[in-house]
Structure 1
C-alpha cells in the first residue's frame, strides 16, 4: 500500500505524524510525504520516506498563486496514484480534497487538528474569516466519502451541528500520540535553592497564551513568589498572531522570562522543568506539548478550552483556568511552586493518563483501523445513524 501524507510544514510532520509513518514503513507500506520545502526535509528522507515539495501559499497577497498550488498537487496525485491520502490541517484538507477528486483517489483521511485562530472570538473580521473557513471545510468534506478525524469531541460536535460534515464520517482520536518511551518521568533537578522552573512550550503566538504566562510571572514577582519562567518555541512570521522578537527581548530584559527559541531536545527540557503552563486561547486539537508534559510526569496549568481539557483533569494532574485570567493562572502556579509533593503527585497522575489514553502506539492503532475501514469498507450505516465517537468528557 502507498500512503501519501499532505502536511504544510516538514517540522510539523516530524513532530506529529512521523510515528504513524514509521508504523506504515515497518509493516512494508510505501510512504510519500508532501510538505513545503524546509531545512528538516533531510530528516524525513533519512527515515526512508520519499519527500515531494509543495509550497503552500498563505495570505491575501498570495491568492493569485493558489491555482498553481492546486495544479501542482493534482499532478503529484496523478503521478503517485496513492492508495490512500492523509491530509493534515486546514490547507492540506482544502487543497487535498480538490486534488484527490481530480485525480480519482477515493480513500481519503482528513485530519482536523483544531479550529485555530479563526474560531477565537474577535468581532466582525473574525466572523467573516470563520464563515470562509467553514465554507471551505464543507466543500472539502462533500467530495467523495472521506473519514474526518477530530482530536477532541468539541470540534466534532461543532462541525456536525454546523452541518459541515456527515456525522457518519466522523471519528475522534485524541491527539497525535506521544512516544512515552522517549518522554519518561524523571525527578525534578536538584537546584540548591534555585526556584522551580515554569515552562511554556509553544510557538510564540499571542493565541497560545504567551502574554498571559508573562503577566502571571509579573504577578508572582509582585507577590514575592520566587520562580523562573522559560519560553520555548519559535516565532511564526507568517502568522498575524506571532509575537515580535522585540517584545520577547523586552520581556527578557525585564527579568520576566528566558526565551530559548526552538529546542530539539524536548525530553531534556521537560526534565529540567518543574511545572508546565500553556494558557492557550487557541482552538487546539490536543496540544502535543501537553501530551509530552504529561508523559514526562510534569504538572500542568492550562486553560479550560477544547483540546487542553482533554489532557488535564482539574485538580488531578494539573489545573484548568478560564481564558485570559492571568490572576487565576498565577494562583494555581503559586500553589505548585510552594508544594513539591503536590507537583510529584500530579505528575504521576499525568504519566498514568498519558500511558492510558495518549500513547503513540494507541493512536497509531486507532488510525490504522480507520485506514482499513476506508480500504476494506464494511456495509454502510443506515441513514441517520451516527458513527461511534469518543466522548469529550474523559475520566
Structure 2
C-alpha cells in the first residue's frame, strides 16, 4: 500500500507558486498525499487556485530582503509551529530563505524527510558589471555559512545546473547527503506546445524587470535595431519588481509612446504571447538556476538568445537553437538579434531545434518523476 504523507511546499511569493509549482503539486496530490502550499502573499484568487489543485494554501510571513537575524529567527519559529500543527512529515523548501530557515524549522519540528531545491545561487552570487563590492562579499560569506549549517541537515538537495554543484560542493566544500541534479524545474510541453511563426519578426523578453535579468540591455538593443529596422517589433512581458535596480513602468511607457516597444505588463497568458513572437531574448547576468521563461519559449519552438553564464547557457547549443552572447556585451547582443533580421529562415529552423531540446531535457513530467522517486513519494511501502 502506498504510504500517504503530509507535505509542506515552502516558498515565498505566491506568483512563483502559481506559475512554477502547479504540475508538481498536482502530481503529489494525485499520488494521494496531502500538500500544504506555503506563500507570504496569498489573496482570495490565489488561494482558490491552489485549492483547485487539491492542495491547501498556508499563508505565512517572510521578508525576502530583510537582513535582520531576529526577523529570520521569527520566520523559523513560525514555520516550526506550522509544521508541528499540520503534522508535516515531508518538507520541500525552495528559494534562499525557505531553504535555510524552512529546512531548519523542519529539523526542529522533527520532519522525517527534508528536501530543498536551490534554483540558482541568486543575486548574492551575481557579479555586477561594476565589480563585487565589500558588502556583497560579506553577504556571500553569510549565505555560504548558513548553507554550510543547513544543507547537510537536508536529506535531499536538488540543484538545477552543474555550475551550482561545482561551486557549492567542489569549490566551497559544502557537505550534501543526497544531491540530485535536475535539468531545470521543467515545463508543461502540452500547454507550451510548438506552433506556427508570425510573419512579422518579433523579439520578446519575459521575466522580472531587474537589471540583473538584462532588461536594460534588451531595451538598448531594441532601440538600436528599431531605428535600423522599423518593421521589427520588440515586446516586454513582466512587471516592475520591488527590488533595487528594477526598470520602472515610466521608463517602459516612454519607449512605448515613441513606438520602440510593446509593453502589456505582466500577463497570465504567456503562451499566447510567445505564439505571436519569433525569438526569445534573455540577456541575463543573474545567477540563474535554469530560467523557466526560456524553457517555455523553447517548448513553443522559439529560438533563444541568452548569455553564456550559469543556468542560461544550459538552454542553448550555440548556432543550433540560438546564440550565446557574453554578459554585458550589448554589441554582441545586437549582432545576434540582427542575424535573425537578415536571415529570417533561421527562426523556424532553430525554433524546431529548441522544441527538440525541450522535449529531451525539460519535460516537466520527467522532471517531476525524478523528484517523486528521489523522495520516495511514488513507491509502495
Task: Report the TM-score range of the alignment, normalised by the length of the smaller protein.
Answer: over 0.9
CA contact (8 A) 1:8 1:56 kept: yes
Aligned to 2:97: 91
Paired residue for 2:138? 128
Comparing 216-225 with 115-124, which one deviates more in the overlay?
216-225
Q: Which residue of 1 aligns with 2:52?
A: 46
Q: Is contact 1:7-1:89 (8 Å) kept?
A: yes
Paired with 2:66 and 2:89, the residues of 1 have a C-alpha distance of 34
What residue is the counterpart of 1:101 in the other structure? 107
Q: 1:389: which partner in 2?
A: none
> Aligned pair 1:116/2:122, yes or no?
yes
Decide whether aligned partners of structure 1 residues 107 and 374 sit closer, same or farther in structure 2, where only a CA change above 3 A counts: farther
> Given that residues 137 and 164 in structure 1 are in contact (C-alpha distance below 8 angstroms), is that contact kept between their aligned partners in structure 2?
no
Separation (CA, whole Å) in 2 of partners of 1:27 and 1:224: 53
Aligned to 1:306, what secondary structure does the other structure show? coil
8 A contact 1:120–1:126 mirrored in 2: no
| Equivalent-residue separation in structure 1 for 2:98 and 2:324 (angstroms) | 32
- In the TM superposition, structure 1's runs of 4+ consecutive aligned residues that sit over 6 Å from their partners are 373-377
User: 1:220 maps to what in 2?
Assistant: 225
Q: Does 1:166 align with 2:182?
A: no
Matched residue SS, 2:267:
coil
CA offsets per residue over residues 370-392 of structure 1, 9 Å max, x none? 10299999xxxxxxxxxxxxxxx
CA contact (8 A) 1:9 1:37 kept: yes
Q: TM-score, normalised by structure 1?
A: 0.89
Whole-angstrom CA distance in 2 between matches of 1:166 and 1:305: 25
Deviation at 1:48, TM superposition (A): 1.4
Q: 2:15 aligns with which of 5, 11, 19?
A: 11
1:293-331 CA deviation, whole Å, 9 max, x = no partner? Answer: 000001110001111111111111110000011111111
Check the 8 A contact 1:220/1:226 in 2, yes or no: no
Superposed, 1:124-273 pairs within 5 Å as 124-143=134-153, 145-163=154-172, 165-190=174-199, 195-224=200-229, 226-237=231-242, 239-273=243-277
| Secondary structure in 2 matching 1:236 | coil
1:67 aligns with 73
**Matched residue, 1:23:** 27
Of 89-98 and 248-257, deviating more is: 248-257
What is the SS of the residue equivalent to 1:260? strand
Conserved 8 A contact 1:113-1:284: yes
Return the offset for 1:110: 0.9
The residue correspondences of 1:275-294 to structure 2 (distance < 5 A) are: 275-294=279-298
State how many pairs are aligned: 371
Q: Deviations over 1:100-143 (max 9, x none)?
A: 11111131111000011111223222211211111121111132
* Aligned-residue offset at 1:352: 0.6
Higher deviation after alignment, 54-63 or 42-51: 54-63
Q: Separation in 2 of the partners of 1:61 and 1:323? A: 28
Tell me what 2:324 maps to: 320
Correspondence for 1:335: 339
* Matches of 1:365 and 1:83, distance apart in 2: 20
Distance 1:370 1:168 in 2: 12
Structure 1 contact 2–32 (Cα < 8 Å) conserved: yes
Which ranges in structure 2 are unaligned for 5 or more consecutive residues?
none
- Over the residues paired in the alignment, what is the CA RMSD in angstroms? 2.0
Q: What is the distance in 1 between the residues matched to 2:377 and 2:6?
A: 16
Change (3 A) 1:235 1:349: same
Q: How far did 1:47 drift?
A: 1.4
- 2:63 aligns with 57
